[in-house]
Amino acid sequence: MMGSYGMGGFGFGGIFMILWWILIIVGIVMLIKWVLGSPASHGGAAGKALDILKERYARGEIDEQEYQKKKQDLSQ
């Protein structure tokens, strides 16, 4: 009965080892998501809408007056 303390040799050490690896894996996944997250996503929908507005202005689809009005509307 080498090392089997009534739990079939698994014991608390095995449980803590599994929990430790789960914690490591979750931490790595969260780190990857944080690193790969785009800056526009932190601003939510308003940030994405402002990016689209800037692109439309840069392409000449809208003039400066319309750009300023829509930008002001988005910031409210």
What is the pLDDT at residue 76? 74
DSSP run (H or E) holding 2:
none
Q: What residues make up the domain containing 25? A: 1-37
User: What predicted TM-score, i.e. pTM, was given to this entire model?
Assistant: 0.42
Q: How far is Cα of residue 52 from the mean position of the Cα atoms in its chain? A: 21
Query: Are residues 53 and 31 part of one domain?
Result: no
Q: Name the domain count of the chain.
A: 2
Query: Are residues 47 and 59 part of one domain?
Result: yes
**Looking only at Cα atoms, what is the longest distance across the chain?**
83
Query: Are residues 48 and 19 part of one domain?
Result: no
The series of mean pLDDT values per 10 residues for the chain, 76 residues long, is 54 85 96 77 71 92 92 84
The secondary structure of residue 4, as a DSSP letter, is -
Query: Are residues 32 and 62 part of one domain?
Result: no
Assigned token pair, 42 = 């932190």
What is the pLDDT at residue 4? 52
C-beta of residue 67 within 8 angstroms of C-beta of residue 57: yes
Assigned token pair, 30 = 């969260």
